[in-house]
Amino acid sequence: MAEGKLDLVTPPPPAGNRGDTVTELLGQIADTGRDAARGGYSRPVLSGSERDLLAWFVEQAQRRGLDVDVDRNGIAWAWWNPSGADLRGSVVTGSHLDSVPGGGAFDGPLGVASALVAVDHLRARGITPSRALGVAVFPEEEGSRFGVACLGSRLLTGELAPKRALALTDPDGTTLAEAWGRAGMDPAHLGRDDEALARIGTFVELHVEQGRGLIDLDAPVAVASSVLGHGRWRLSFTGEGNHAGATLMADRRDPVVAAAAAVLAARQSALAHADARATVGRIVPVPGGTNVIASRVDAWLDVRHPDDAVTAAVVAEISERAAEAARAEGCELVVTQESFSATAHFDGVLRDRLTRVLSGAPVLATGAGHDAAVLAGHVPSAMLFVRNPTGVSHSPAEAVEDDDAEQGAAALATALEHLLT
Ligand code: GLV
Ligand code: MN
Ligand code: MN
């Protein structure tokens, strides 16, 4: 697919559901990317399900008369530009459509659906902005396929070098370059895009809240203050593959044992530093057989803290404990940083303006990463959060009440109206 061209097959919307509300829009994609084995949704970037979601987005944007294109970093843009304004300095909203494995229905798609409905609200309010409004969909926000979160916004802003991005591999060993080419896009054109970046005058991302802040405050919508600094590290333990029955306990060099010590060290180290979070959510033993002592284990560590120096200290502690455990087991350990994002504070003036126009909506920090946080280092950016009655995210239990979803889209429209007029 050449840049700017779309060759996606768009499925017809369900009869009677035109996608006029956030709930209707999300209803149209409720069966896309369902994961029967894990529960919830698995919508990895450039998979069939994620491409179907992109086709759905294009169809819904075109139904609204928006001009859609996909840029050289795989970011889809839909423009409402009734005044034919220069796109530089536009107001842009949007989110992502990819998911974590077995994720919920709202992380990402809520922001995309709300952006489309917000355009409807602005039209219904009789707004004819002199500037353009863009709706952007960023690829691989979760980093669940190629390991680096916010891949699209990092490429756009130059925070991720294209050479490194192209060499990233998915769990099957497919490189990003290969997957990009198979999706019909030219991997040669990845990288910082000053022209696309200059089109974003202000960015506002609406997102399901990934915590209990709005439950406790009894409010449907909040404005974000900051995103916790976070990073990912791969701990690769190498030992000796062997037979589970024929190898005496004293003769083993089992990397799973060393990895287990690293998991416990992560818990202990995070508990020893106030506000730290450390998680090992993915462990892959190789070759991975019940009666096989693994020859290697890869364990991925996610560490977050408001103070980036504390994050570094926690990672150093865990790495040291993991290295000790590896030595004791006769194994080797290699620790590789795969990504890091410093704590991001959203533009204070923009945050206060949005809080004012949203009638004193509460202000909340978040522990989850977002494309808006990457963009915040380059353009004035903000986020709105919509109440999640379970407080749970990255899980099928993630939830949003229908009424809150519509209130969120209306709040987004109000925020955009304020920025556009
Ligand atoms: C993405 O949601 C993250 O916080 O890792
Ligand atoms: Mn998200
Ligand atoms: Mn997420």
Domain ranges of the chain: 22-228+343-420, 230-341
**Which CATH number applies to 230-341: 2.30.29.30, 3.40.50.300, 3.40.718.10, 3.30.70.360?**
3.30.70.360
**CB contact set of 210 (below 8 Å; sequence gap of 6+):** 107, 366, 367, 368, 388, 393, 394, 398
Mean pLDDT of the chain: 96
- Report whether pLDDT(141) > 80: yes
User: What local confidence, expressed as pLDDT, does residue 15 receive?
Assistant: 76
Cβ of 142 less than 6 Å from ligand 1:
yes
Average pLDDT for 84-103:
98
pLDDT above 90 covers what percent of the chain? 96
Dist. CA 367–CA 242, nearest whole Å:
41
- pLDDT the model gives residue 360: 83
Report the separation in Å between the CA atom of 18 and the middle of ligand 1, taken as the mean of its atom positions. 31
**CATH code of the domain occupying 22-228+343-420:** 3.40.630.10
Instruction: Using most ligand atoms within 8 A of CB, pick from 45, 142, 154 the residue to mutate for ligand 1.
Output: 142
Distance from C-alpha of 269 to C-alpha of 222, rounded to nearest angstrom:
31
Give 230 Cα–ligand 1 centroid separation in angstroms: 9
Q: Which two tokens stand for residue 268?
A: 């202990």
Which DSSP state fits 189? G
Q: What is the mean pLDDT of residues 145-168?
A: 98
**Is 138's pLDDT higher than 50?**
yes
370 is in an annotated binding site: no
Confirm if 47 and 142 have CB atoms less than 8 A apart: no
Render pLDDT for 15-29 as a digit per residue (tens, 0 to 9): 799 999 999 999 999
Interval between CA 397 and ligand 1 midpoint (Å) = 16
Measured from the alpha carbon of residue 112, the closest ligand is: 2
Q: Are the CB atoms for 101 and 42 separated by under 8 Å? A: yes
Query: How far is the centre of ligand 1, averaged over its atoms, from the C-alpha of 302 (Å)?
Result: 10
96 among annotated binding-site residues: yes
- Give the per-residue pLDDT at 343: 97
Nearest CA to ligand 1 atom 5: 369
- For the Cβ of 368 lying below 6 angstroms from any atom of ligand 1, the answer is yes
pTM for the full predicted model:
0.95
pLDDT of the residue at 406: 98
142 annotated as belonging to a binding site for a ligand:
yes
- Annotated binding-site residue? 141: no
Both tokens assigned to 160: 């991720």
Q: What is the pLDDT of residue 1?
A: 36
